[in-house]
Amino acid sequence: MSIKGVGIDIHSPRINGDLGIFRRDLDYYAECGFDYVEIPVHGVDGIIAGRLNERRVREVREILAGYGFRYTVHSPDPLNLFDVEHLAWHKEVFRSSIAFAQEIGAETVVYHAGRVDAHHEKPALGLDELKTVERDALQEMVELAVAARVTIGVENGGQDSYSGVIAELVAQVRAIAHPVVGITLDFGHAFLTAQQHSFDYLSAVRMAAPYIVHLHVHDNCGRTVGLPSGVPYIFSVPFGIGDLHMPPGWGSIPYEQIFSALCIPPSVFLMELSPRYADVFPEALAEARRLASLVGG
């Protein structure tokens, strides 16, 4: 079977650097029976000013040694290889994210694909030039990733990223052309951007399949109409709007249809769920295992 195991993410805003909460969440995940846990390097304060926070890394490593999980790592969300002005900082954080993964024995580092912040000035470089900058930077990370025995999973994003169109992310990964750089396919993000960019969702998933190294699985309703700015999550759910990170089966993503026809390289089935659903994590895990059993290799 091409699914190496089923995992759950540590929710970085929830733990917010508190290793006591981190440990309690790990205890609960062990009780539930997850195989993998995705560690956000920023959530545990693993990097400060681009460098590994050695003391904190040691503490995290000591905590993780008490569990039987396997691990993946999520790099800081603002890491953006399109930010040419501060590119040296972003590369530094990327290198340290890979080093953190090596320290804890993780298999994959997730990186959000390059994006242009609509709230800042229009970048001096065009999109094709920015993609070249990103490719060159990722090529620089390849040697580190090989040495650390980790893969880099470039994750598809939202409307602010070229990767919102899955075909463009596939083209970028193909152009990098190295086996340690693949796609972290976020099914929830793709379901939303399929509506925004009017592409066929199932066809896009099939196109990405040969390049997938990691899965991010969560559910939403595919509704992208905006609510007023600042509306809390608890009010988005009744309208079914946005990136809701619900358990599989709670929204509209056709997971049965997707996974029964999906053939991918060996990957982790990693659920990214809002902590508000923690009471149903055992139920979500059972459903994830059922869906994972449908996946071919």
Listed residue (297, 282, 272, 275) closest to 215, CA to CA:
272
Res 120: pLDDT: 59
Q: Which range marks the domain in which residue 157 is found?
A: 3-292
CATH, residue 273: 3.20.20.150
In a domain, 297, yes or no: no
**What pLDDT, in 10s, does the model give residues 194-253?**
999 999 999 999 999 999 999 999 999 999 987 776 788 899 999 999 999 999 999 999
Listed residue (259, 277, 278) closest to 267, CA to CA:
259
Largest CA distance in the chain: 51
Res 177: pLDDT: 96
List the beta bridge partners of residue 112. Answer: 155
- The span from the CA of 138 to the CA of 176, in Å, is 8
Res 125: pLDDT: 86
Alpha helices, DSSP H, located in 215-254: 233-239
Other CB atoms within 10 A of residue 277 CB: 17
Name residues of the chain where pLDDT drops below 70. 1, 118-122, 229
In a domain, 165, yes or no: yes
Q: Angle at which helices 87-104 and 127-148 pack, to 10 degrees?
A: 30
- The span from the CA of 2 to the CA of 158, in Å, is 27
Total number of domains constituting the chain: 1
